[in-house]
Amino acid sequence: MPENIKRHLDESVPSQLTLSEVKKRKILNEANQRMDGRNFSSPRLFKPFAIGVAILGLSAFLSFPYIQDWSEESAFQPALKEPNNEKIKKVTITGVEYPSLINATYIADTEEMIVTDHDGIYSYSVESETKRVIVEPKDNAEIFELAVNGEWLVWEDVSTSKLYILNRISNERKEFSNTLMTYDFQLDGDTLTYASIGDRDSFMGYKKLDLSSWKETEIHELTGEGANSRSAIHDGLLVIPERIKVNDKSSVAFFLYDLKKQIQVGEYVVPYEVANNVTITNNKIFAQLYNEGEASRLAYINLEDSQLHEVNVPAFDAYAVYEDFVALSLSRNDSNTVKLFQIEENSVVALPTFNQIKERLVKPRFTENGTLVVNGEGEQHSMYLQDVNHLE
Amino acid sequence: MNEQDRDQLLTSAMDEYGHYLIRLAYAFVKDVSRAEDIVQEVFIRYYINLDSFEGRSSVKTYLYRITVNECHNYFKSWSYRKTELSSLVGSLLVAKQTPEEEFLKTESSKYVAQLVGELPLKYKEVLWLHYYAELSVNEIGEVLKCSANTVKTRLARGRKMARLTISEEEIEHAREH
């Protein structure tokens, strides 16, 4: 079949179209000239002035409705049209309570926001600004734990003691009886990981479920004294934090697993009592670390040298990190708001991304591909999306 | 690197990838002249950057990445928007096909390509890169600067939207490579 598809695709292109020897020589000449510093412009790039004027006129005509929209919206979101903010998307979902919005998950690939009101699960298309029901609401449902990506939705309904897994592409749905306590669902492609706590005799720890084969594997047995953070998953790596006692002093251990090989590939102990918001990105395990009564710090274990490195950041309440971008919730007057920074040599450089947004921003989180999501606390409870890969 | 080595590398790259790149560019922009311009720019940029090309990605993924980026840039340009407007006006003037014609069209081998061609760009490009350029999921991830999981999801959605029926073994093949 792939050969057939390739043939069908190839047949859709004019058969004579190829990079001819004449064209190759032309490219080589042009490359030589460009390399020599000569600036030749392609004749095709030259447009007669009249065409330019015509296009400008046409564009002004076609853009009139958008200009009109802009002037109507500008009263509510003036910052969005500032040059610095042109890539920020403002998402306003009406009819959804703020506690649900604050836990909304954004899927960049399908440009949708997934929210639950604990009765059902809903998708809001950022593109078409439409809502649709994914899981029909029930009056007595208790949905508190879910994980979602473009292909899968996993949720637990405590009221039915069932775990549900929906393939969002085929719409095939599976149900599993779930009398154990399960939590911390994480999805990475077709892999689901979750923690499971049962009775004294059953396995207590993290399991992996391969959603393409439905094969379940025990990954990590919990032996510590709990954790302040959920696990983190990224590109086939799972990191599980646990508070442990070392010489009668509390520390945090990070257990790192390669999910494909199903083996532990690292264990790192840091001399702090608490690790919040553990995140794995760019071959680093980040966490907000602190001891009770002390200020917190942002630090990471570099998986290349296994060392703990501290990032020099202003005092912060919450953070989110993706590669070398970090969003920090910083004090502002008697409150706080989110600012975006770039990490450079274990220090940070402020970016102007959210400077024009006046409402308080909270709950920064990144998607797996680098879209930062923050909730606004303005009247509309809008959310703001910024793909940091597109920052100039 | 001297000019002779540079010329040799460019010639080799054009011999190996030129045919596929120009056809891929055409598949996206649907304009022979524009596809030629894009591929010319791709190879010139490759030539100019040969010294700084550290081999972190293969020449193949590098060339495909620049081609896809150049196509994306074209879609943002006024030139493209003008063409789109003309096509829109043109399509309004063309009479609709009869059900019989629609049925016959589904039997045509061009129908697959047409369905793929009508997909949003993000699905169209992964299908072309996977089935036509024969790039692996990981290579497409490098080309499009996104994760392998995103590529897999787009492939799955793209296949469904284009009504491509792929056997389980082939899906496994896509997952593994």
User: If pLDDT is split at 50, 70 and 90, which confidence band does A315 have?
Assistant: very high
Distance CA A280, CA A240 (A): 10
Point out the residue among A17, A62, A235 whose CB comes nearest to the CB of B26.
A17
Q: Measure in Å the smallest separation between the Cα of B57 and chain A Cα atoms.
A: 17
Q: Measure in Å the smallest separation between the Cα of B44 and chain A Cα atoms.
A: 5
Within a domain: residue A373? yes
Torsion angle defined by CA atoms of residues A113, A116, A122 and A125, in that order, rounded to the nearest 10 degrees:
-20
- Of A135, A131, A139, A129, the C-alpha closest to A156 is A135
Distance CA A233, CA A289 (A): 19
The DSSP result for A275-322, as a single string, is EEEEEEETTEEEEEEE-TTS--EEEEEETTTTEEEEEB---EEEEEEE
Q: Distance of alpha carbon A107 from its chain centroid, rounded?
A: 7
CA distances from A29 to A42, B5, B42, B51 (A): 13, 15, 14, 18
For the segment A319-326, the average pLDDT, to the nearest whole number, is: 96
Within a domain: residue A192? no
Contact A10 B40 (CB under 8 A): no
The DSSP letter of residue A144 is E
For residue A13, is pLDDT > 70?
A: yes
Task: Please state at what angle helix A2-11 crosses helix B110-117, rounded to 10 degrees.
Answer: 80
For residue A47, is pLDDT > 70?
A: no
Within a domain: residue A356? yes
Within a domain: residue A17? no
Q: Look up residue B141 and give its amino acid.
A: G
Secondary structure (3-state) at B95: coil
For the segment A228-252, the average pLDDT, to the nearest whole number, is: 93
Q: Could you report the per-residue pLDDT of A78-111, keeping only the tens digit for each?
A: 333 333 444 899 999 998 988 899 999 999 989 9
Q: Which residues of B touch A23 (CB under 8 A)?
A: 36, 40
Contact A6 B131 (CB under 8 A): yes
Within a domain: residue A198? no
Q: Could you report the per-residue pLDDT of B88-147, keeping only the tens digit for each?
A: 444 444 434 444 444 444 444 457 777 888 888 888 899 999 988 888 888 898 888 888
For residue B53, is pLDDT > 60?
A: yes
Distance CA A74, CA A94 (A): 18
Within a domain: residue A318? yes
Point out the residue among B11, B78, B110 whose CB comes nearest to the CB of A11.
B110
- Of B134, B107, B26, the C-alpha closest to A2 is B134
Contact A236, A188 (CB under 8 A): yes
Within a domain: residue A129? no
For residue A193, is pLDDT > 90?
A: yes
User: If pLDDT is split at 50, 70 and 90, which confidence band does A215 have?
Assistant: very high
Contact B10 A151 (CB under 8 A): no
Q: Could you report the per-residue pLDDT of A366-386, keeping only the tens digit for each?
A: 999 899 999 999 999 999 999
Q: Measure in Å the smallest separation between the Cα of A291 and chain B Cα atoms.
A: 35
Domain count for chain A, please give it: 1
In this prediction the pTM is: 0.64
Interface test with B, best of A1, A6, A13 (most B CBs within 10 A): A13
Range name among A149-153, A309-313, B28-32, B81-85 with the lowest pLDDT average:
B81-85
Task: Please state at what angle helix B32-48 crosses helix B3-29, rounded to 10 degrees.
Answer: 150
Q: Which residue has the higher pLDDT, B147 or A237?
A: A237
Distance CA B116, CA B132 (A): 12
Q: Which residues are CB-contacts of A296 (< 8 A; sequence separation ≥ 6)?
A: A274, A276, A288, A289, A290, A316
Domain that holds residue A361: 73-95+314-392
Within a domain: residue A332? yes
